[in-house]
Amino acid sequence: MLKSWHNKFERTLKKQIHMKYGSLVFVKNDFKEVKKCLERNKYIEDYSHKDVLEVFQGNLATALVVEADDMPQDVVRLNSMVTVSSIFGWEKAFQVVRPKDACIENERFSLCSKIGASVLGLSEDDVFKYGSPADSISLKIVKVDHYHDELKGAMEIENLPV
């Protein structure tokens, strides 16, 4: 009974996600990091969180994995700053990070958190459901910034010989 409910939930969730690229998109290094995180959280006891991670894991099977140079700039990656909005008019910005870098007070959420797993690999204008199946809301990704790319570029400029 529980298995059939979970399969129905998974089918429903997939129908309620609109993806610009047709599936999740990952750069190779992020994909490896996600797989490691999911493996470490395999036996989690929080069932609503576990459901999100299981659906995320299922979506990884059809994910596009690309080289960094081929990665679309509007896709949520590790360390991306993401702004989501609701149909009620509010917006929320946060960063998706590795579990060791998570800090709720600073709006930095782990890739294995509910919100992190919900947005990683999606892109600007994608719509997803967030929350429990009985009490979920539709959210839209309105902006994705890649601060890690800017920092990397700034460090390279600083290290150039004068």
Sign of CA dihedral 156, 30, 45, 133: positive
Burial group, residue 139, by CB count within 10 angstroms (0-12, 13-18, 19+)? buried
**pLDDT for 152:** 45
**pLDDT for 150:** 44
On whether residue 162 sits in a domain, the answer given is no
On whether residue 28 sits in a domain, the answer given is yes
**pLDDT for 19:** 84
The ranges of the chain with pLDDT < 50 are 1-15, 149-162
Cα(110)–Cα(39) distance, rounded to whole angstroms? Answer: 14
**pLDDT for 25:** 95
Tally of structural domains, the chain: 1
Q: Provide the CATH number for the domain around residue 81.
A: 3.10.50.30
Q: H-helix or E-strand containing 7? A: helix 2-15
**pLDDT for 1:** 42
Domain residues for 145? 2-157
**pLDDT for 159:** 42
On whether residue 66 sits in a domain, the answer given is yes
Contacts of 131 (CB under 8 A, 6+ apart): 137
Chain segment 13-58, per-residue pLDDT in tens? 444 567 899 889 999 999 998 888 888 776 666 665 666 677 778 7
**pLDDT for 162:** 41
**pLDDT for 154:** 40
